[in-house]
Chain A
Amino acid sequence: MSHYIVLRVVSKLMIPVILIFALYVQFHGEYSPGGGFQAGIVFTAAFVVYALLFGLDAAQRAVPPVVAHVLAAVGVLIFIAFGYAPLFLGGNFLEYKVLLPNDQAGETLGIIGIELGVGITVAAVALTLFYSFAGRDVR
């Protein structure tokens, strides 16, 4: 689709906006609708648009599949780390309020942390799925 000049120009304007919106959905999730899951999908949408317009190999040069695979695991590990961290501070599994002296601040820190883990996992997994499906017909 690389010969559609209008699509190329518009996508170059839109892709940064999509990425910023994904970050907004991610880090504003405590105050407005959204969170890690939605943000991850929106973040990947930007790369899917890029791959559709500029080709799969261009997208894979930007984010190699290996990076996506590693990040998918890293996201889950961040989540699990925020689950285990309270155990060392005298709390239960996933009991974030012991992370900081102030209960509310601790809870908020925990929520931001695990939402980040979910966001990274979802974005990486969605990208992995897209690569796996789209990269298969190259023979």
Chain B
Amino acid sequence: MEVRRWGCVIEAIIDIVLLTFLVIVGVAILLVRNLLAVTMLTGIYSLLVATLFVLLDAVDVALTEAAVGAGLLVILMLATIALTTQKEKVHAARQNAVALVVVVVTGAALIYGTLDIPPFGDPNAPAHVHLSPRFTQESPEEIGIPNMVTSVLATYRGIDTLGEAVVIFAAAVGVLLVLGTGRVRRRRDTEEHEDEARERS
């Protein structure tokens, strides 16, 4: 019992530290003007979010976030920066009172909305009494595999996943149409260089 309580305390401390870092990194992304640094900060942000997902026992999501957010997205943004520019254009800051009011009111409404959300880990929360028991109790029997995330993803919500796969494919088609295939035409000097290397070996 004692050990369990200390576990909760440590988890709370880790949560607070990670969330603080998250806020710091988020503010830094807004303030820093060098886009290369912003790209790196975005990767760090994704990694922090992935760690938070691990703490919430959502390891499948954490793996995705770490691979896509901290890995592939950073590479693609670096490639974009290499094509464009490293410096963000700074516009003269204009004060806009209407925008401030809209943002404050929307933020207040969202925070007010969270007050009705059941506390974290509440067993009587609607999400835990409606479909979860059905999936957690019957899916091992019905599907026969231990990872319930996979069985929900692939069977109970198979059409969703099919839609996702098609969306990803459509994204590639869109990029191909806009940017082209990116096929490198081998220039003569690189071929000569290789011929030299072959002769030497």
In the assembly, what is the distance between CA of A134 and CA of B80, in Å? 8
A104 touches B144 (CB 8 A): yes
Instruction: Report B146 CB to chain A, min CB distance, Å.
Output: 6
Q: Mark B63-99, 1 if CB is under 8 A from A, else 0.
A: 1100110011001100110110000000000000000
- Say which one of B7-15, B38-46, B105-113, B159-167 lies at the interface with A: B159-167
List the B residue with the shortest CB-CB distance to A128.
B172
B16 in the interface (beta carbon within 8 A): no
B83 touches A117 (CB 8 A): no
B168 touches A122 (CB 8 A): yes
B60 in the interface (beta carbon within 8 A): yes
Q: Decide if the interface of chain A is mainly helix, strand, loop or mixed.
A: helix
A48 touches B75 (CB 8 A): yes
B75 touches A33 (CB 8 A): no
B169 in the interface (beta carbon within 8 A): yes
**B82 cross-chain contacts in A, Cβ below 8 A:** 134, 137
Q: How large is the interface on B (under 10, 10 to 19, 20 to 34, 35 or more residues)?
A: 35 or more
B165 touches A76 (CB 8 A): yes
A96 touches B63 (CB 8 A): no
Q: Mark B134-163, 1 if CB is under 8 A from A, else 0.
A: 000000001111110111011100110110
A107 touches B143 (CB 8 A): yes
**B165 cross-chain contacts in A, Cβ below 8 A:** 75-76, 79, 117-118, 121-122
Task: Add 5 more A-B contacts to A69-B176, A128-B181, A133-B182 (CB < 8 A).
Answer: A41-B67, A56-B184, A94-B158, A122-B165, A132-B181
**B201 cross-chain contacts in A, Cβ below 8 A:** none
A136 in the interface (beta carbon within 8 A): yes
Q: How large is the interface on A (under 10, 10 to 19, 20 to 34, 35 or more residues)?
A: 35 or more
List the A residue with the shortest CB-CB distance to B141.
A104
Task: Name B residues whose Cβ lies closer than 8 Å to a Cβ of A.
Answer: 59-60, 62-64, 67-68, 71-72, 75-76, 79-80, 82-83, 142-147, 149-151, 153-155, 158-159, 161-162, 164-166, 168-169, 171-172, 175-176, 179-186, 190
In the assembly, what is the distance between CA of A7 and CA of B201, in Å? 22
A125 touches B162 (CB 8 A): no
Instruction: Report B189 CB to chain A, min CB distance, Å.
Output: 12
**A57 cross-chain contacts in B, Cβ below 8 A:** 184, 186, 190
A132 touches B63 (CB 8 A): no
The 7 closest A-B pairs by CB, nearest first: A135-B182, A104-B144, A133-B79, A30-B145, A94-B158, A131-B182, A33-B59
In the assembly, what is the distance between CA of A58 and CA of B159, in Å? 38
Q: Mark A4-25, 1 if CB is under 8 A from B, else 0.
A: 0000000000000000000001
A29 touches B147 (CB 8 A): yes
Given contacts A33-B147, A37-B64, contact A115 B154 (CB under 8 A): yes
Residue of B62, B64, B169, B180 near A72 (CB, 8 A) is B169
**B158 cross-chain contacts in A, Cβ below 8 A:** 83, 94, 114
B166 touches A76 (CB 8 A): yes
A33 touches B145 (CB 8 A): no
Residue of A31, A107, A121 near B169 (CB, 8 A) is A121
